[in-house]
Homo-oligomer: A and B are copies of this chain.
């Protein structure tokens, strides 16, 4: 393997870095620091005070120890910061070119920048925000969780409206579930059974489309023995997965993010919150109660959401590490939050309005 150890240029990178390459790189860092120091003329503008050999030794030590690699990164960032202040444009350009080259070399050295991955590949693959490829062809599914009073419902509804896609929340699901039950009762009579077989029904009555009466009865008996809450949860989970196969939508709460993840369906998950005091003030206004009452309600509703989420997901509700992003609605307002989310979806090529 040929290794170009000249300071001038393109070091050939192999899978494993040879010491020669590292020494070369350390030397370039030292030299750049010296050059920048001379060009800025600043008595303070020098990162490395010691002589070239000693500095290179120190740099090498840090390069080879991932737990200390951030030191190089910081020292090097300081050189970059200084370089950007060089008044002479030619010297500036030259220094920045060398700076950028070294950054890329450093990056090519595994671990040299202290960079180890933090990715959860399974979940990252399903994150439509972060993975434009995952969502080509897939439906646009936006799962929103929110703390009470943060305006999450208004934001979710407004977003669905802006994107011209469907909107689902607990009340809508309840209505849908009631209808499914009512429909199920109806269909106990043959006439209605015949009817449901013949009409084209592309709406929310997902259950009627492809299922025989027998299959549907089986479906309704399936959760026998479960609590009503559990049965509802599982019905909703199934409904969500069905919907995700055929349409774009915004869904509020319902642990939809976790249901999508568990079923390997690409989506984005957003948590919307705002400072407690602001939320309480807002709910006091909306519900026309005093602050004391509002605070009590806030805590109750948040606790209920938390308990529901924790029960069905085993995760901690409202913890930023459960979602793709969290948004503080107080920093944007309701309209601003809607626009912000729509922009973010657009930014990743994920929101061509239909």
Residues of A within 8 A of B (CB): 40-45, 47, 66-67, 70-71, 73-74, 77-78, 80-82, 84-85, 87, 103, 113-120, 123-124, 127, 129-131, 147, 149-151, 153-154, 157-158, 160-161, 166-169, 171-172, 175, 179-180, 182-183, 186, 192, 195-196, 199-205, 208, 247, 271, 273-276, 278-279, 282, 285-288, 318, 320-334, 336-337, 340, 343-344, 346-348
Asked if B343 and A347 sit within 8 Å, CB to CB, the answer is yes
Say whether B203 contacts A124, CB under 8 Å.
no
In the complex, how many angstroms separate the beta carbon of A203 from the nearest chain B beta carbon? 4
Q: How far is the CB of A125 from chain B (nearest CB, A)?
A: 10
Given B74, B171, B208, B286, which contacts A66 in the complex, CB threshold below 8 Å?
B286
- Beta-carbon nearest neighbor of A84 in chain B: B166
Chain B residue at smallest Cβ distance from A208: B44
* CB pair B275 A169 closer than 8 Å: no
Smallest beta-carbon distance A202→chain B, Å: 5
- 25 pairs of residues in contact across A and B, judged by CB atoms under 8 Å: A41-B200, A43-B205, A44-B179, A44-B180, A44-B183, A47-B175, A77-B169, A80-B167, A84-B247, A85-B202, A113-B157, A115-B151, A118-B151, A118-B333, A119-B333, A120-B278, A124-B331, A130-B333, A130-B336, A271-B320, A323-B328, A326-B326, A343-B344, A343-B348, A344-B347
Chain B residues in 8 Å Cβ range of A78: 172, 175, 204
Of B43, B205, B330, the contact of A195 (CB 8 Å cutoff)? B43
Measured in the bound complex, the distance between the Cα atoms of B268 and A344 in whole Å is 15
Whole-angstrom distance from the CB of A177 to the nearest CB of chain B? Answer: 11
How many copies of this chain are found per oligomer? Answer: 2
Q: How far is the CA of A340 from the CA of B349 in the complex (A)?
A: 12
Asked if A321 meets B275 with Cβ closer than 8 Å, knowing A129-B340, A179-B44, the reply is: yes
Contacting residues, chain B, for A168 (C-beta < 8 A): 81
Q: Which residues of B contact A45 (CB under 8 A)?
A: 203-205
Contact A118 B153 (CB under 8 A): no
Q: Out of B74, B127, B149, which one reaches A332, CB within 8 Å?
A: B127
Kindly report which residue of chain B lies nearest to residue A346, judged by CB atoms: B347
Q: Are B333 and A117 in contact (CB under 8 A)?
A: yes
Whether A336 contacts B131 in the complex (CB less than 8 A), given A44-B183, A45-B204, A120-B330, comes out as yes
Complex partner residue of A40 from B153, B203, B330, B331, CB under 8 angstroms: B203
Report the nearest B residue to A65, measured CB to CB: B288
Not counting A42-B201, A114-B154, A130-B340, a sample of 4 additional A-B residue pairs whose C-beta atoms are within 8 angstroms of each other reads A43-B192, A82-B203, A116-B285, A119-B333
